[in-house]
Amino acid sequence: MNKFIDFIITQKCNQNCTYCSQSKQQQKKKNHATKETIKAFFDFIETLDKDFEITITGGEALLHPNFFEIIEKLANYNFKINLISNFSFNLETYQKIFSITKENLNKLDISLHLDEIKDFSAILMKLEQFLKSKPKYISTTILIPIFKLDQIKEEKIKKINLIAEKYNTNIDFQHIRILNKFIKYNKVEEKYFSKKEKIEKSYAHYCSAGSKSAVIYEDGSVYRCYSSRFLIKNYLGNIKDKNFKLYNNLKVCTQKYCTCPKPKQYNQILPKKNYLKAFRNVFINYINMPLLVLKNKDIIKNKLEQFIKIN
């Protein structure tokens, strides 16, 4: 069973995707993790086993003013490092990442948002140069969100696929989710997802999220997974609290579907179920919902505006 920590070091992004899973387009406050939060993060990971993988993400993680300091210090801790970037920076920037992290960099995934690419030919050229020159020990997956495809976008996907095949690189076509639910696809879009990739039910299943993995936001708040930010039972606390720690045991999932791919990818969702615990946790979540809505009213408003806009 694999272990991972995702650290969202910034909510800022230099792209403006209407379908952004974190509703960046609507958010008024787009903050970086502070020095206090970053220090708390490193204090926390000192308590972890070295078999945890650490993913640094955002927003666009490279926009954080201390990005290179963070990955350099992380590399010195000898954790496996995963990075995600929208590939909007020049090749020299990515080469600098390679030189700083060396063999501690396990993965650098590229997220290509077709609506945001202004010069597609230049991106294709940069992509080929990147895949040709990157160290062989670094794994790369090209992430392509599928949203309102037309013939032009499909032609672009074919060209990206040719380069990916040439350099033996995987492409992951990503489901778009709004308000923690996947949007409906038409037949053209649906063909990019195989039956094997369909989202499975997770309700009442035991899951190691929260004990073997967690998501840390830029303010230091920690949740079991990306799907659980508005569920009180899945809030773990804040890394700036000196007594913060992960769960010691498995917890049941209260979501109907797991809308984050990582627990499934890391084999964290177990076949074993407990409907009684799941029902109890749903009830606790329900009675705490007014407080959570009040606490996250701006985020909820942003997501509702986004939902209305793309539909």
In CATH, what number is assigned to the domain containing residue 198?
3.20.20.70
Q: What integer pLDDT is reported at residue 33 of this predicted model? A: 96
Is residue 196 pLDDT above 60, yes or no?
Answer: no
Q: How far apart are CA 135 and CA 137, in angstroms?
A: 6
* pTM for this entry: 0.90
More confident residue, 298 or 1: 298
At 178, the pLDDT band (50, 70, 90 cuts) reads: confident
Q: What integer pLDDT is reported at residue 311 of this predicted model? A: 66
Q: What would the pLDDT profile of 222-240 be if each residue is shown by its tens digit? A: 999 887 666 777 889 999 9
Q: What integer pLDDT is reported at residue 306 of this predicted model? A: 63
Q: What integer pLDDT is reported at residue 233 of this predicted model? A: 77
Instruction: State how far the alpha carbon of 257 is from the alpha carbons of 136, 191, 204, 236, 267, in Å.
Output: 35, 21, 10, 21, 15
Is residue 197 pLDDT above 60, yes or no?
Answer: no
Q: What number is the average pLDDT over the span 21-48?
A: 82
Domain extent at residue 42? 3-310
Is residue 134 pLDDT above 80, yes or no?
Answer: yes
Residues linked to residue 54 through DSSP beta bridges, in sequence order: 5, 81
Q: What integer pLDDT is reported at residue 286 of this predicted model? A: 78
Q: What integer pLDDT is reported at residue 144 of this predicted model? A: 96
Q: Which helix (H) or strand (E) holds 85?
A: strand 80-85
Q: What integer pLDDT is reported at residue 26 of this predicted model? A: 44
Return the number of other C-beta atoms located less than 10 Å from residue 156's C-beta.
18
Q: What integer pLDDT is reported at residue 91 of this predicted model? A: 97
Q: What would the pLDDT profile of 73-93 be if each residue is shown by its tens digit? A: 999 998 999 999 999 999 999
Burial class (CB in 10 A: 0-12, 13-18, 19+), 11: buried
Q: What is the DSSP string of 214-235?
A: EEE-TTSEEESSGGGTT-GGGE
- State how many domains the chain has: 1
At 221, the pLDDT band (50, 70, 90 cuts) reads: very high
More confident residue, 279 or 22: 279
| Calculated CA dihedral for residues 262, 268, 269, 271, nearest 10 degrees | 150
At 195, the pLDDT band (50, 70, 90 cuts) reads: low
Is residue 194 pLDDT above 90, yes or no?
Answer: no
Q: What number is the average pLDDT over the span 103-116?
A: 96
